[in-house]
Structure 1
Amino acid sequence: MADRASALRLDRRGFLRTVGVAGTAVAAGGATAACSSGLQGSDGGDGDGGGDTIRIGYVSPSTGPLAAFGEADDFVIGSIQEHFSQNPIQVGGQSYAVEVLKRDSQSDSNRAADVAADLIQNNGIHLMLVSSTPDTSNPVSDQCEAQGMPCIATVTPWQPWFFGRGGQEGSKFQWTFNFFWGLEDVEAVYADMWDEVPTNKKAGALWPNDPDGLAWGDPTTGFAPAQAQRGYSIVDPGNYPNGTQDFSAQITQFKNEGAEILLGVPIPPDFTTFWRQAAQQGYQPKLATVAKALLFPSSVEALGPLGVNLGTEVWWSPSHPFTSSLTGQTAAQLAEAYTAATQKQWTQPIGFAHALFEVAAKAFGSVQAIDDKAGLASAISTMKLDTVVGSLDWTSGPVPNVAKTPVVGGQWRTGTDFAFDLTIVSNKQAPNIPVAGEVQPLGAPVAR
């Protein structure tokens, strides 16, 4: 277990420097810390807020290579604040307005830590919400843990969030919580998809040198041991730096070792680079299941015809049979509202961004005062809540302060209203989520 924690741990010295000089960092960058979306509370003011307003910090990547994760945040926050304006949160018998202070991590861990420190120290927030990959969720969670601020994270697999922050079996964090699936879940989903296409059972792996890549590629606790039990072997060229422009070495090794499956967790621009170079160099696996980079319509559209039948995990979609505990919207209605408001295709983080506020509202409704931080943390630690992303239960593990959500498998197919549709093709791990097609090999005739 020590090896796992060591492999996943972020730069702790860098984090401690951030905590130690948080005031200086914010003083130097406070003006740029404000979000320019025009949402209430995003003006970077002093944030005393008065005693009749619940102030919630929200950090996610709106710019940089992970910006697709935060694409729907303005819509979700705007909708949530409209809901709360009509339905104030009740705390201790009193109604409270809600103000959301959104900050952009810029897809940078140091920036994420800085804006989190600013929100905690200078903006008077009562609760922190954070979303989208360990690059943002981990440093924000670390700031909150160090400064006694309740924090709810999501869209970050629990292993890199827990072990990547130094968590160990038998221990727990005091202030920070997460809800999402784990590597064991996506390993099973991918293997279920692989089983549907005849291959030599060799999977070439694209593991970046970041918290996700280190977790997924860990030789002891990552994909390799789990997939070996299903009869698959991993061709692992080693971790590469984000922003790599030449993947010839990886492509050559995949070709030489006959990797008929492609696997990985690259950032979107890196996969675009890799996949175009793979086509140019004559590498076409029979199946590709790629996390992170293939979650979003924009990433697949950038590939044109090369995007057909690329596979990924699906953690939220309009066909998920869940309903918001706040607004009563089904997953389908929430996706439809996003498209109607933005003219854009639904994207997976919509549901999880919305669910963050479901959890926040439930937590505040469980305490007697909005500044009862210990009470908020206690409420989250024992919470069971049905949300638009499924049933959350923080009492069931797999480790303290983590609630798991379901995940299924999908492939991108030629679309109708949009260029591509993400079609659910494998639901063995969550049979209550319906499939809409079958797994198809790459290069097969397009089937919806």
Structure 2
Amino acid sequence: MVRNGRVAQARALNVRAAVAWASTAALAGALAGCGEVGGGTVAGGGDDDVLRIGFVSTETGPSALFGEANTYVIEAMELWFADNPVTIDGTEHSVEIIVKDSQSSSARAGEVAAELINSDGVDLVLTSSTPDITNPVSEQCEANSVPCISTVAPWQPFAIREGDEPADLKYSYHAFWGLEDVSAVYADMWGQVDTNQKAAGLFPNDPDGQAWSANFPALTADTGVTIDDPGLYPNGTQDFSAQLSAFKGHDILVGVPIPPDFTTFWQQAGQQGYQPKVATIGKALLFPSAVEALGNAGDGLTSEVWWHPTAPFTSSLTGQTAQELADQYESDTGKQWTQPLGFAEALFEITVAAVEKAGSTEPDAITEALSTLEVSTVVGDVAWGADDSVPPYVAKTPLVGGQWRLDEGQDEGANPYELVVVSNTLAPEIPTGGEVEPLR
């Protein structure tokens, strides 16, 4: 085995380098105009004893797996707040959660965010699930001076939307890891397998694909791994013959496709005889149902892991550990736990901590509280203003790497795949369950 010795160096990259990584990415979501639940009230910051929270979720469309757990968490939070009102400046506030589906569309995300603000009168907006959704929601909040808390998008494509400088955001606060983190995790996993250090890049023409393709080659160059990118492909591509022809002889596969596109690609890879020694795929391999769709061909695939039940974190609201939350989700839904589950709950933990610290539902008071907020959540410690390597409205969260393992002898009703943590260099508090095994 060859261990990569550059992980610590990659972790130490500062924001100046991060800006350069994303400078060529076309990441700006169009400002949308003015979405399914909720009645009309005046704009946020009302003086009644109700905290109105808008949530732009992704429940339908090609990225729906990102929002698969959102409905569960929102319903659980509604029950929680019914028994546990939020105390703001000594007054108990009931909580109303108004949900809109982005339909996996940037334009739709902007539209429903505007509706939450202008028609539903929310005090703040929560959102997640790739920069395609977080960015247009943030832009509406900035335009209307309403607090926005977002997650589940690398911080660079969230923050750097035009040119080579982070956007000057005043009402948007984001909690997630960055490209410097995911590249370090990937490099550590690749270093556990003996390869020719030639990587094939599978990058779509969307904000994630643009940022990853523009920056990953530079981030991995000093590790000895070179990434060959035959060009961005459109989401929904049905024929990957051109990419597979270019990928021959590459022991490593890396990319960030949407789930249905990777299913198509991996099936065609098997048909055309391309099998790398290690395949590390962001976005598409985050979800158990997406891996199960590959059948036995999903065994041994690797990805980043932003949240795992074995992480030693606890909800500041419910007191549940990460493992207890995952177990409860599986018991209640009959589905396997999924990574966005923890981050959906963390959004509400952050919200409560922010309004309690602000002592108000006024937009400026909430954003002022967020600017220095520190809160321990079920996804780890979240702190804004504590890391000079990122914009002040970004709080980084822990990241590890994992490998999907097929349990060929599983009991009836057991999950066919388990996600095993195989790299914790950046977050040693999260235990590993093994090392990377080469694809067979």
Taking structure 1 as the reference length, what is the TM-score of the superposition?
Answer: 0.89
Pick the aligned partner of 1:105 from 97, 102, 105.
102
How far residue 366 of structure 1 moved from its aligned partner, in angstroms, is: 1.4
User: What is aligned with 1:396?
Assistant: 386
Pick the aligned partner of 2:196 from 164, 185, 200.
200
How far residue 11 of structure 1 moved from its aligned partner, in angstroms, is: 5.0
Taking structure 2 as the reference length, what is the TM-score of the superposition?
Answer: 0.91
For 1:236-251, list aligned pairs within 5 A: 236-251=229-244
Tell me how far apart the structure 2 counterparts of residues 196 and 332 of structure 1 sit (CA, whole Å). 27
User: Could you tell me whether the CA contact under 8 Å between 1:138 and 1:165 is conserved in 2?
Assistant: no
How far residue 172 of structure 1 moved from its aligned partner, in angstroms, is: 3.3
Tell me how far apart the structure 2 counterparts of residues 11 and 108 of structure 1 sit (CA, whole Å). 14
Tell me how far apart the structure 2 counterparts of residues 11 and 316 of structure 1 sit (CA, whole Å). 27
Tell me how far apart the structure 1 counterparts of residues 222 and 67 of structure 2 sit (CA, whole Å). 36
Q: Does 1:349 align with 2:366?
A: no
SS at match of 1:234: strand
User: Could you tell me whether the CA contact under 8 Å between 1:56 and 1:125 is conserved in 2?
Assistant: yes
User: Could you tell me whether the CA contact under 8 Å between 1:5 and 1:168 is conserved in 2?
Assistant: no
Q: Note the residue ranges of structure 1 that are not aligned, 5 or more in a row.
A: 23-32, 35-41, 444-448
User: What is aligned with 1:177?
Assistant: 173
User: What is aligned with 2:135?
Assistant: 138
User: Could you tell me whether the CA contact under 8 Å between 1:172 and 1:401 is conserved in 2?
Assistant: no
Tell me how far apart the structure 2 counterparts of residues 89 and 166 of structure 1 sit (CA, whole Å). 41
Pick the aligned partner of 1:387 from 373, 377, 386.
377
User: What is aligned with 1:369?
Assistant: 360
How far residue 369 of structure 1 moved from its aligned partner, in angstroms, is: 2.6
User: What is aligned with 2:416?
Assistant: 419
Return closer, same or farther for 1:310/1:120 CA change in 2, 3 Å cut-off: same
User: What is aligned with 1:310?
Assistant: 301
**Equivalent position amino acid for 2:357 in 1:** S
User: Could you tell me whether the CA contact under 8 Å between 1:53 and 1:96 is conserved in 2?
Assistant: yes
Return closer, same or farther for 1:291/1:310 CA change in 2, 3 Å cut-off: same
User: Could you tell me whether the CA contact under 8 Å between 2:27 and 2:157 is conserved in 1?
Assistant: no
Identity %: 54
Deviations 1:149-197 (A, max 9, x none): 100000010000000266725x631000100000000100000000011
For 1:38-437, list aligned pairs within 5 A: 42=37, 44-47=38-41, 51-164=48-161, 168=165, 172-218=168-214, 222-255=215-248, 258-370=249-361, 372-397=362-387, 398-415=390-407, 416=410, 417-437=414-434
SS at match of 2:415: coil
User: Could you tell me whether the CA contact under 8 Å between 2:292 and 2:416 is conserved in 1?
Assistant: yes
SS at match of 2:314: coil
Which of 1 and 2 has higher RCO (CA within 8 Å, sep 6+)?
A: 2
Tell me how far apart the structure 2 counterparts of residues 60 and 198 of structure 1 sit (CA, whole Å). 41
Return closer, same or farther for 1:424/1:11 CA change in 2, 3 Å cut-off: closer
Tell me how far apart the structure 2 counterparts of residues 112 and 101 of structure 1 sit (CA, whole Å). 14
Report the number of matched residues.
413
User: Could you tell me whether the CA contact under 8 Å between 2:203 and 2:255 is conserved in 1?
Assistant: yes
Tell me how far apart the structure 1 counterparts of residues 169 and 28 of structure 2 sit (CA, whole Å). 18
Tell me how far apart the structure 1 counterparts of residues 285 and 363 of structure 2 sit (CA, whole Å). 37
SS at match of 1:164: coil
Q: Note the residue ranges of structure 2 that are not aligned, 5 or more in a row.
A: 1-15
How far residue 7 of structure 1 moved from its aligned partner, in angstroms, is: 3.0
SS at match of 2:347: helix
Tell me how far apart the structure 2 counterparts of residues 167 and 236 of structure 1 sit (CA, whole Å). 22
User: Could you tell me whether the CA contact under 8 Å between 2:182 and 2:399 is conserved in 1?
Assistant: yes
User: Could you tell me whether the CA contact under 8 Å between 2:252 and 2:277 is conserved in 1?
Assistant: yes
